[in-house]
Amino acid sequence: MEYREREWKRDGKKYRVQQQWVPLSQISPYLIKSVLIAEDDKFWSHEGFDYEAIRKAVEKDVKAKKFKLGGSTISQQLAKNLYLSPARNPVRKIREAIITWRMERVLKKRRILELYLNVAEWGDQGIFGIEAAARHYYGQSAAELGPEEAARLAAVLPNPRKYNPLAESGYVVHRSNLIYSIMVRRGIVVPEFEEVIGEDNEHPAMEQREYDTLRESPVHVPSGEVIPQSQ
């Protein structure tokens, strides 16, 4: 947030930070699940790093002959949001990795997720955290978000300054539909009758293809059952 404030001042923009802290217990389970599906589906099982996602990101960078290194977990994104700038360079990624490693050893998973959802940027005019985002876009609290709204808000996280959850852009619609369909297949959302009729029997393979599509988003920089209480 401080980085953004310096950026606004430099550019002569009169934006201000809009943020309202809420505990994890007051955030819609649909939103929590949507964000994990979209950004870090292995959150509860990894120790800060998704090595398979990193490998794929490196291979993609090598092919494109440029340094982007996506595949960031929620823990890595939180380290960046709290302590670093959005700059993409090897030094920043090394510092991010060190902070992430330390964070995963001193904080519980629930706390990491709570912090992330309260500091993540959700718009191009100072919207930070899910409570501010829910009220700005939908006029309701984070606890009241339904599955469709949750999928929309999660869909824009790779680049919230470019994409608007209310927009009917192809990217937002496609990505939010993928998130929503995965929630339906996992039983998080009870599907409408028409959706049930249209389902096929290839759920695992279909879901994996959909999840791969989410993680391979061209703008990606960077799971409910209710959150495990043991974490």
State the Cα angle at 158 between 79 and 172, rounded to 5°.
155
Cross-strand pairs, 128? 121
Q: What pLDDT, on the 0 to 100 scale, is given for residue 228?
A: 37
**Fold designation for 2-215:** Penicillin binding protein transpeptidase fold (1.10.3810)
Domain ranges for the chain: 2-215
What is the chain's Cα-based Rg?
17
Instruction: Compute the average pLDDT of residues 11-32.
Output: 90
Q: What pLDDT, on the 0 to 100 scale, is given for residue 206?
A: 57
36 pLDDT band (50/70/90 cuts)? very high
pLDDT per residue as tens digits for the range 53-102: 777 766 765 666 554 555 689 999 999 989 987 777 788 889 999 999 99
State the Cα angle at 70 between 54 and 36, rounded to 5°.
85
DSSP letter, residue 18: B
Q: What pLDDT, on the 0 to 100 scale, is given for residue 194?
A: 46
DSSP letter, residue 121: B
State the Cα angle at 4 between 126 and 44, rounded to 5°.
80
Report the C-alpha gap between 97 and 119 in whole angstroms.
Answer: 19
Query: Which position has the token pair 């310096």?
Result: 6
More confident site: 202 or 139: 139
Report the C-alpha gap between 140 and 111 in whole angstroms.
Answer: 24
Backbone dihedral region of 89: left (phi > 0), alpha (psi from -120 to 50 degrees) or beta? beta
209 pLDDT band (50/70/90 cuts)? low
Closest CA to 157 of 47, 70, 53: 70
Q: What pLDDT, on the 0 to 100 scale, is given for residue 125?
A: 82
Angle between helices 74-83 and 90-106 (to 10 degrees): 110
